[in-house]
Chain A
């Protein structure tokens, strides 16, 4: 059937892309309260990305880069450096640190290219870096989430079914960049794979993970489809697998709004983004916000299975990149909007952007 006709038929009978079907969280993704049960953690405003540089754990938050240090009173965040622009991603290798900013610039600190500033921005195009990773000492791979909207406007890009994202390989020596893939629906996480020539990318709006050739442009290969949420950053687990953070859940109401362009456009033009029917990093606790709780609140208690726009979910992937275990913060939890997670020995360090917290999860009890 011709695509346009297929689309019309799907819209009429509610099938295909218009099915309003959401994959269940079951099997290895069976909901639990592991994130809410993490006792150790500390408050920090909207933590976003994590990396370990020279043995120091760094976390980005707004325009600041913080180092996490152990102190007598527990763990504390110490301001490492403040920048002029908002940080949208960080990555480190043995010597160098890469810091990506909302304006499309990437700054290298340490290593052979210390102080180098690479600009992704092009005339007339937004460059919205969402994730970076080193490919050896001389190259960097960068996810550009959207060429249409800035970092803060991710909800708009999602609702408009944006697919202007791309993945780039940048030579740090010459600053030459090669587009490895484009037309992606908000690539939001990236990590090199063990084979030495591939990278794994999370394509957020399509709820999947892609394998790309790290050396030249190629067609992406989907390795994990139909995730029940919107995937964000990826980090290796040190034993061939990976940890994937998902910052919001999928739900049928959002899927419905996305297939109703007139309603969606009216909503976006007449309401503040906080009240859009769209995924969210956190619940603001306002009665004005749509869906949060979905009416499943009794005697002041929100049921954990209530329909929700925000959620906390971290998935452990095995060597075959299949889910093996997961940690959740459900509708009634607070550690939502998990944008990054990093394995360190027996601990998993998680940035809960919606919960304004860094969590330390003991993995020994989670297997």
Chain B
């Protein structure tokens, strides 16, 4: 490892729509170093690496590469200067071959596929990657896709490679292969930034570790000086969040109601692995897990958004009856709704009004196929929910994209609740929502449980899980690994279960 930093960031801040994602962060990467970035979801890791790789520009601060002040307007500029980013979800084109992906963007006027394959074969062999250059990327496993991504970065003479959660979808064998590969890259002179929720992995392979929390750098230390406890304590120690979630007196968890949902040995691909748990009426069951832990996929399988494995995919029972939903509509009819974590992509039609969005979801529940929809009834329904959820808009005729994030989220929740569900799955319901709306959404979630509904709250934000849930399940590597009573658990215990 060389002594001086090859990349240095000073006082970097980044603001998104008035909210600070990063605040005065200093970061330095030395040559031939593996530097891990760890922190909870929303701590600012991705924002920091996006700034380094030119995906976004900082609001404030400076970046130095080899001592020179630099500023990238796009990822291509960063790549030209030797900085490449390997995303968790690979950016490869699945319908093209490995070789075509490797040389994407360098196509000549006349391309001879055979020549491309020979060049790719030689290049992959020089890296000792056992990947067939003629294979379609869609046919590759997660580790092989990572290899192609890495090869592409090396092909562009990257001196700094950023890995975002590279091991989340890998099997243990693939992981060990990947770590050997990373070590080899370092020996070849590449500096590596490694983002991971797996603390043990970060401790094992890193030279130094930086912990981010609430957009601030908490510590940077050699990995040898750290242990898991110290890292976790740095990750979960609260400042701002304590203000929002401070408890006034001891909260008494709601008692178990009827068991309404039983998930038994559920499996879906590599993301949900033989997981089992129960959900009770009149309670908020919090599910905590880091990104890639499979909690969202589990929820989607329950609601019929995703399908479990056809062979030995496990069982889901609702009120003692086995259910298997092929589409979400079947789940809705059985009283299960899933409120998505990605409201912009999956939550609403942004060009439609509040009333139209709510009406669209009513169609899923309705057993009668009404040909004519009465506008007055749609409006009446939407106004009812607008008032009930305190959606701040001029009227229910307002377009969704005119609303703030918090009010958009309330519309998404209203779309679910309008179907009078028995089981409500809320996936990251307060992500990207302002502080005032967070409190209102939490109040709403509590009132749903008080009405006897079974509420599943998925969140990566520990204070939210701790202060809203009556019972907490922890998801890791595709399965529920721990269950806590809300009145006898600490943030540290939950995080330990999530990463250990």
Contacts and interface: CB of A to CB of B under 8 A. Distances in A.
Chain A partners chain B:
yes
A226 interface: yes
Interface string A1-31: 0000000000001111001111110111010
Given A225-B320, A322-B257, A323-B256, A23 B312 contact: no
B278 A27 contact: yes
A28 B265 contact: no
Contacts of A320: 258
B483 interface: yes
A16 B324 CA distance: 10
Given A22-B264, A26-B278, A322-B256, A13 B310 contact: yes
Contacts of A22: 264-265, 276
Residue picked from A24, A222, A225, A322, most chain B C-beta under 10 Å = A24
Contacts of A80: none
B97 interface: no
Interface in B163-217: none
A25 B411 CA distance: 36
B429 to A, nearest CB: 23
Contact of B315 (A15, A28, A222, A323): A15
Nearest to B312: A14
Contacts, number: 67
Contact of B256 (A222, A226, A324): A324
Interface in A11-66: 13-16, 19-24, 26-28, 30
Interface string B301-315: 000000000111111
A55 B465 CA distance: 50
A252 interface: yes
A226 B318 CA distance: 11
Nearest to B258: A322
Interface string B253-284: 00111110011110000000000111010000
B471 interface: yes
Interface in B309-353: 310-315, 317, 320, 322, 324
Nearest to B257: A322
B259 A27 contact: yes
B258 A16 contact: no
Contact of B265 (A16, A21, A30, A222): A21
B323 to A, nearest CB: 11
A14 B313 contact: yes
A15 B266 CA distance: 11
A324 B317 CA distance: 20
A323 B280 CA distance: 11
A16 B264 contact: no
Given A19-B314, A27-B259, 17 more contacts: A13-B310, A19-B264, A19-B315, A21-B265, A22-B265, A24-B264, A24-B277, A24-B278, A26-B276, A26-B483, A27-B483, A30-B483, A225-B317, A226-B259, A322-B256, A322-B258, A323-B256
Interface of A: 13-16, 19-24, 26-28, 30, 222, 225-226, 252, 320, 322-324
23 contacts: A14-B311, A14-B313, A15-B313, A15-B324, A19-B264, A19-B265, A19-B314, A21-B276, A22-B265, A23-B262, A23-B264, A23-B276, A24-B276, A26-B277, A26-B473, A26-B480, A27-B471, A28-B256, A222-B320, A225-B317, A226-B317, A322-B258, A323-B256
